[in-house]
């Protein structure tokens, strides 16, 4: 087997320090892989346990910076490390962020579908718990934002992730 100019074996899978398959290619702000020798944006560390308030603040900063893929990873950490009764909430927020990612990448079908799925998840969580503003999140406003953006995307709108980012505490 040969090797690439970057020293990787041809046909070999990238692995993390624990041996798990993990793509080491740099990524752009929307999480798209770039060539190995390209300059990408810093990746979000995975598996970070944050307080809900830290999660919301970090995700909001990433959304405003036009990096919804990275915000999705922050929400995913909360979904995986938080209490069971909040998993639907954090999963729904992660779906909103990845829906914005796909919309900004020009993936009309995937973007609209994930935005609506995320809106449904946070509406389901709100209906089940009766909580509309956990951690000061504006869940009704976020669901409305997601459904409107899904319609815009399906209508042919071009999406700038930073310009269309939601305000998590008030859209």
Lowest mean pLDDT of 15-19, 79-83, 119-123, 150-154, name the range: 15-19
User: How buried is 123 (Cβ within 10 angstroms: 0-12 exposed, 13-18 middle, 19+ buried)?
Assistant: middle
Q: What is the CATH number of the domain that holds 148?
A: 1.10.3450.10
Who's near 15: CB < 8 A, 6+ residues apart? 21, 22
d(CA 111, CA 114): 5
Residue 40 lies in a domain: no
Residue 46 lies in a domain: no
Q: What average pLDDT does the segment 45-65 reach? A: 95
Residue 35 lies in a domain: no
Domain tally for the chain?
A: 1
Residue 45 has pLDDT above 80, yes or no: yes
Residue 161 has pLDDT above 80, yes or no: yes
pLDDT of residue 73: 95
Domain of residue 123 covers 52-155
pLDDT-based confidence at 23, cuts 50/70/90?
confident
Question: What is the per-residue pLDDT across 87-144, written as a single tens digit (0 to 9) for each?
Answer: 999 999 999 999 999 999 999 999 999 999 999 999 999 999 999 999 999 999 999 9
φ/ψ of 134, rounded to 5, equals -65, 140
pTM here is 0.85
Lowest mean pLDDT of 45-49, 74-78, 91-95, name the range: 45-49
Residue 11 lies in a domain: no
Who's near 165: CB < 8 A, 6+ residues apart? 63, 64, 66, 68, 100
Residue 130 lies in a domain: yes
Mean pLDDT, the chain, as a whole number? 90
Residue 105 lies in a domain: yes
The CA-CA-CA angle for residues 31, 15, 5, to 5°, reads 80
Residue, of 20 and 65, whose pLDDT is higher = 65
pLDDT of residue 92: 98
pLDDT of residue 44: 81
Residue 58 lies in a domain: yes
pLDDT of residue 24: 80
Residue 118 lies in a domain: yes
Q: What average pLDDT does the segment 52-65 reach? A: 97
pLDDT of residue 91: 97
């Amino acid at each position: 087997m040969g090797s690439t100019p970057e020293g990787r074996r041809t046909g070999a899978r990238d692995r993390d320090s624990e041996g798990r398959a993990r793509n080491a290619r740099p990524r752009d702000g929307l999480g798209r892989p770039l060539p190995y020798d390209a300059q990408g944006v810093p990746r979000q560390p995975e598996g970070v346990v944050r307080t809900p308030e830290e999660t919301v603040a970090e995700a909001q900063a990433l959304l405003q910076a036009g990096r919804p893929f990275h915000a999705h990873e922050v929400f995913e950490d909360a979904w995986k490390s938080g209490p069971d009764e909040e998993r639907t909430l954090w999963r729904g927020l992660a779906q909103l962020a990845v829906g914005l990612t796909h919309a900004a990448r020009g993936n009309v079908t995937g973007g609209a579908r994930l935005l609506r799925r995320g809106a449904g998840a946070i509406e389901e969580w709100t209906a089940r718990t009766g909580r509309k503003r956990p951690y000061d999140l504006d869940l009704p406003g976020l669901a409305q934002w997601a459904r409107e953006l899904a319609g815009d995307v399906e209508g042919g709108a071009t999406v700038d992730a930073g310009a269309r980012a939601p305000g998590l505490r008030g859209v």
